[in-house]
Structure 1
């Protein structure tokens, strides 16, 4: 059993390492432009949503964009109100990552790793960045493959089996598992990858997987909270807004997990893609639904957590 969980930890580490390397390549290609886009193109909540979606899709990390946004608000480049649109966009943008990892690209792993190593050793900046992306993706798919092979052996352990059964039977438990896992490993994408591994071996049902993904949205807010520690109140409001948006969205969607499962099943027969599509649908609907009520949500957060000037 100890060996199984050690391998599990190794694969999670490889996944997070791959995400970090890939993100470094993408950010280094256009870091300054991304910050300028966040500052200049967020005059309305809709523009903020679009920019947040695009920047998160490029950087491949909602947590990284949230940390940047908290920093920009702390430095007074952005107001808290401007950041709300960006937060909504990050939830949509992070869905691109889960859609990518849902595909089975086993045959491309070795070429991606080899190309990545070659390009990373080149002196040209662009080649190095592309190499990071290729190598990072290769590591991610290695980890995905490993997590899938470990799913059944882990589920065979009586304690783990009973716990997974509870997750299948109770959506609240699934949401809690997703939230805790995401907060611990600091990655909603890695949490989704774990759920995909168990779903591929038919250990987790789709509704339980969706519950874990919804919970992961809440758990990933922990990064923004850490980034806002010691900052002025306007930066802390960004973290609080991120939490409230995800908690409200998850609570409103919980009764409709069955509907979300049916829609996803109708779109594809592949379990990984079903989970990825469900997460994408949830994030798009919940973010777009909040968009007309941004002024009210702004007042709600201010009423609970104080003014920006504090």
Structure 2
């Protein structure tokens, strides 16, 4: 039991988290300063903020990084509450890119992607050693960060593949089977579990990828996986709440708004888990893993579109530092 379930689950999840962190760091180092200027200059309206939040989260593969960045901008008075509201809604959509890519079964090429990225990184390292007397060129640095990002993506795919490999062992486990039946009968446990685990590891994509890996082998039902998606959307707010502590009222307002919106979305769609599954199944029939990814995308897009008009309320157009709501 230890070697068949515990070791693969820990190793697979560790590779998932490590891969995502490597991707996040590499892309932040490459685009961090330019991204800050882009966000500050390109959010003239809540709708533009929504587009920027979506693109930035997809680029950095981390809605948490964009959320923390937004809280900092609001505390500095660079963004109004309405613009920050649009960005937060966009991050929920942009974060779906990772799981949608995983639904394409790219894990079959995980090792090849990692190996190619490693070779590319070694080439940039050798080029830098040759030019040790001078700083590496802009293009060499870009290539290095791109290779690191692809290496992280390869690690992520390898972790996903390992998680899938433990499916038969989980299915043979009577205890796990009983837990899954309980979660299927009471989806609220899936929501609570997804929220708690996401808050613990600071990555909703990693938790959803875990559920996708289990669903791909039949160890987890798609409905239970969708319940985990709803919970993960709430748990991802934890990092923003922590980041807002000690900051201005505007930053705390942004963090609490994200929590309120994501919690309201989970409550709204909890009775509609069956409908989300049906819609996702229509897109990818016979593929439980992809169904969870599509359900996440549908859920986040619908929630964000429903909430976006709230950003146009007149009382939110003032700078956050002087807003009475901040």
Structure 2 Cα separation of the partners of residues 50 and 22 of structure 1: 21
Q: Do residues 223 (structure 1) and 224 (structure 2) align? A: no
Partner residue in 1 for 2:258: 242
Counterpart-to-counterpart distance in 2, 1:93 and 1:107: 24
Are the counterparts in 1 of residues 85 and 311 from structure 2 also a CA contact under 8 Å? Answer: yes
Match of 1:274 in 2: 291
Match of 1:196 in 2: 212
Deviation at 1:2, TM superposition (A): 4.2
Decide which of 184, 196, 200 is 1:168's aligned counterpart.
Answer: 184
- Which of 202, 211, 215 does residue 227 from structure 2 map onto? 211
Q: 1:295, CA displacement in angstroms?
A: 4.6
Superposition pairs of residues 90-105 of structure 1, within 5 angstroms: 90-105=91-106
Larger Rg: 2
Equivalent position to 1:141, from 157, 160, 183: 157
Tell me the residue number matched to 2:89.
88
Q: 1:280 to 1:101 in 2, by over 3 A?
A: same
Maintained 8 Å contact 1:109/1:142: yes
1:1-310 mapped onto 2 (5 Å cutoff): 1-3=1-3, 4-121=5-122, 122=124, 123=128, 124-269=140-285, 270-295=287-312, 307=324
CA distance in 1, matches of 2:44, 2:53: 13
CA distance in 1, matches of 2:153, 2:143: 15
Residue 188 of structure 1 and its aligned partner are, at CA, apart by 0.5
The SS at the match of 1:42 is coil
Residue 233 to residue 265, structure 1, CA distance change in 2 (3 Å): same
2:131 paired residue number: none
Deviations 1:14-62 (A, max 9, x none): 1111011112222222222211121112221111101100111111111
For residue 166 of structure 2, give the secondary structure of its aligned residue in structure 1.
helix
Contact (CA 8 Å) 1:113, 1:135: kept in 2 or not? yes
Q: Structure 2 CA distance, aligned partners of 1:58 and 1:31?
A: 11
Structure 2 alignment gaps of length 5 or more: 129-139, 317-322
Deviation string, structure 1 residues 262-308 (Cα, Å, up to 9, x no partner): 11111112222111111111111110111112255977xxxxxx946
RMSD of aligned residue pairs (Cα, Å): 1.9
For 2:141 and 2:186, locate their aligned partners in 1 and report how far apart those are by CA, in whole Å: 49
TM-score scaled by structure 1?
Answer: 0.92
Distance 2:85 2:43 in 1: 9
Give the CA deviation at 1:227. 1.0
Match of 1:303 in 2: none
Q: 1:197 to 1:298 in 2, by over 3 A?
A: farther
**Residue 182 of structure 1, CA deviation:** 0.8
Runs of 4+ in 1 over 4 A off after TM superposition: 295-299
Say if 1:129 and 1:13 are closer, same or farther in 2 by CA, change over 3 A: same
Instruction: Give the conservation status (yes or no) of the 8 Å contact 2:170–2:219.
Output: no
What is the number of equivalent residue pairs in this alignment?
303
CA distance in 2 between partners of 1:153 and 1:184 (Å): 25
Q: Is the 8 A contact 2:49 2:84 kept in 1?
A: yes
| Conserved 8 A contact 1:186-1:223 | yes
Aligned-residue offset at 1:155: 4.5
Structure 1 residue 108 displacement after superposition:
1.9
Structure 1 residue runs of 5 or longer lacking an equivalent are 300-305
Q: Distance in 1 between matches of 2:244 and 2:299?
A: 27
Following the alignment from structure 2 to structure 1, what is the Cα–Cα distance between the partners of residues 324 and 179? Answer: 43
Q: Give, in whole Å, the separation in 2 of the partners of 1:297 and 1:7.
A: 52
In 2, Cα distance between the equivalents of 1:201 and 1:117?
30
Give the number of the structure with larger relative contact order, counting CA–CA contacts within 8 Å between residues 6 or more apart. Answer: 2
